[in-house]
């Protein structure tokens, strides 16, 4: 088999049906004649072609309106995924323009998408819908329930509790670092059917040693005897949550995601980001400067895919997080006043 036959095997064919189909196909042919299989980009262009058929059936070239629709084609998409979808369209637009056809050339820089994130605790009905799909598609569920006790609203629902069929496909992961505040123990556990548990044990036995006997007894004591202590701690967290959100309500230029569990608040600084001068990541550079100037450490939202947010924790004394918020307020006002 010669090289051309090997390439024929690897190349995937897609059908294009819009009024730009010939341009798209000739562009792909040019790429493949240069030695590129161009499979993933051809697939993206087939989706682009379908969008044209559905929304711009008369379009014969690329316009700003078409690009705007393509950017917003997947509203909750991560920025990295958007950039992967845009790249072949940018190449196509340059190709069309090079043919002498009037065409909007997609710019190299695409602004960050504005995605609204909402904190949410699944209801029993929503969990049941997820479970039904997993059972139908034979998908195992890995349920991280480390925050199960720190829930401020209704009682927490473990997904494995919804039935024996669900329990059989669920691997529940939990530990003591959050609800029992035992971060130093590095102790956790899983619950699953016997077959899965046996397989995990076989793998783990060759990777790590067992937790110390002391840590195991402490964890056992937390599970068996500390319910009232944990409940009291959760009430304390709830009180701190109320203090933090009251303070944030009084601050200018900020918004936040109201927490119904855990001990964090995601603060929306999108108004500040418009005034703040940064190079690549607003949240990383904002947090670095805040730490340098005001000696307060907060977590950049970029780590969670929301670069105009920062995350703070109230798992510390009231005096500490209120002072931290006071310093955050001063830093924000300093930025906004300087750039007005």
Token reading at 186: 């590095």
Question: Cβ atoms within 10 A of the Cβ of 214, count?
Answer: 10
Q: State residue 257 phi and psi, 5-degree precision.
A: -95, 120
Distance CA 137, CA 162 (A): 17
Element (H, E) at 143: strand 141-144
Which position has the token pair 């088999």?
Answer: 1
The whole model's pTM is what?
0.62
For the purposes of burial, counting CB atoms within 10 Å of the CB of 168, is it exposed (0-12), middle (13-18) or buried (19 or more)?
Answer: middle
Token reading at 90: 């940018």
Distance CA 166, CA 316 (A): 37
Each residue's pLDDT tens digit in the chain (340 positions)? 444 444 444 567 888 999 999 999 999 999 888 877 888 888 999 999 999 999 999 999 999 999 989 988 776 666 667 788 899 999 999 999 999 999 999 887 665 555 556 667 888 899 999 999 999 999 999 999 999 888 887 778 999 999 999 999 999 999 998 888 888 888 889 999 999 999 988 888 777 777 888 999 999 999 999 999 999 999 999 999 999 999 999 999 999 989 888 999 999 999 999 999 888 889 999 999 999 999 999 999 988 878 899 999 999 899 999 999 999 999 999 999 876 6
- Cα-based torsion angle of the residue sequence 144, 80, 110, 73 in order, rounded to the nearest 10 degrees: -70
Which residue in 338, 277, 270 sits closest to 310, CA to CA? 270
| Whole-number pLDDT of residue 2 | 45
Find the helix packing angle between 282-294 and 318-338, rounded to 10°.
Answer: 110
Which residue in 9, 99, 33, 34 sits closest to 62, CA to CA? 99
Which position has the token pair 């609204």?
Answer: 116
DSSP letter for 258, please: P
Task: Determine contact, residues 222/182, Cβ cutoff 8 Å.
Answer: yes
| Whole-number pLDDT of residue 340 | 63
| Whole-number pLDDT of residue 21 | 94
């Amino acid at each position: 088999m010669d090289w051309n036959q090997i390439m024929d095997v690897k190349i995937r064919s897609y059908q294009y049906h819009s009024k730009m189909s010939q341009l798209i196909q000739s562009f792909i042919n040019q790429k493949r004649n240069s030695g590129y299989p161009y499979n993933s980009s051809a697939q993206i262009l087939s989706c682009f072609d379908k969008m044209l058929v559905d929304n711009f059936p008369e379009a014969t070239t690329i316009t700003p309106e078409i690009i705007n629709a393509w950017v917003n084609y997947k509203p909750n998409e991560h920025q990295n995924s958007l950039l992967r979808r845009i790249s072949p369209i940018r190449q196509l637009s340059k190709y069309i323009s090079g043919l002498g056809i009037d065409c909007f050339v997609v710019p190299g820089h695409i602004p960050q998408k504005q995605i609204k994130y909402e904190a949410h605790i699944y209801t029993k009905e929503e969990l049941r819908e997820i479970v039904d799909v997993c059972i139908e598609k034979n998908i195992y569920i890995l349920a991280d329930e480390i925050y199960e006790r720190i829930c401020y609203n209704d009682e927490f629902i473990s997904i494995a509790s919804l039935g024996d069929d669900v329990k059989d496909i669920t691997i529940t992961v939990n530990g003591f670092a959050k609800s029992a505040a035992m971060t130093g123990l590095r102790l956790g556990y899983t619950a699953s059917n016997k077959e899965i548990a046996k397989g995990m044990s076989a793998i783990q036995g060759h990777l790590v040693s067992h937790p110390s006997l002391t840590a195991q007894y402490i964890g056992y004591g937390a599970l068996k005897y500390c319910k009232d202590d944990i409940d009291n701690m959760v009430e304390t967290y709830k009180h701190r949550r109320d203090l933090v959100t009251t303070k944030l309500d009084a601050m200018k230029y900020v918004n936040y995601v109201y927490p119904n569990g855990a001990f964090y608040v995601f603060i929306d600084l999108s108004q500040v980001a418009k005034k703040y001068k940064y190079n690549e990541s607003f949240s990383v550079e904002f947090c670095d400067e805040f730490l340098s100037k005001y000696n307060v450490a907060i977590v950049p939202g970029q780590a969670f895919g929301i670069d105009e947010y920062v995350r703070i924790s109230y798992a510390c004394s009231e005096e500490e997080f209120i002072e931290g918020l006071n310093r955050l307020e001063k830093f924000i006002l300093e930025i906004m006043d300087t750039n007005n």
